[in-house]
Structure 1
């Protein structure tokens, strides 16, 4: 767990220290739904990330996040993720994402996740995105799925 967070932090620091590859930093607010086989709840959160170009059509990035299931007895789940993808024209990015999140409630479990998303720019600094992730929980807990839509600002 700590090794994953440290690795992602080191990757982010390396990308940030490489101005020739600099593409964009971003912050966003997002909301959506989390579900397992029987229940679903609303979820909301914030994220900040940095993407760097790797060639003309591909990119890699890192992201940190804080998300909360909007029901009683939950807390913020903090996450760290990496993403990689392709640019779809001047305004879009299609990507795969994977990461780690802390437990969303006191007696829950931390999770690893994999997913995919699409980000579309609106003008020079604003973007919207849709994303799906599957959370691999383990330890007897049911895996969950998350679908979110987000709005953000690029720098």
Structure 2
């Protein structure tokens, strides 16, 4: 339960920080990527929604996005790296301002991260990291350390 709360808290911080920076950017740049309505648009690429933990992450993200008046677009890769790459490409076509990825595979997601980098979209990863491309920050935990703690 602590993992869920920590992850959701960090996701809220990400949305808040990126929202602040987008407000700053839109006031200084007329060609800013914010939509005509001025809303921050976040793409959230989930590895699966067939797991209660990831459903809780999705629900927490939706609640925070609603509170912060952020447009949130969520995809479900269904544990398929190829589908997740396609999902990310689709999100990039929707003019998102920020991309948050819960990778199905740390190696396979590199291509998608690099495409977002090429589009100047900041990328955050949650749970698993990416083994390449530029990720602004990763929110996760050390599973081995957690397992050792739980086993003692």
Q: TM-score normalised by the shorter chain: which range applies?
A: under 0.3
Q: From the two aligned structures, give the one with the greater strand fraction.
A: 1
Normalization by structure 1: what TM-score? 0.26
Higher helix share: 2
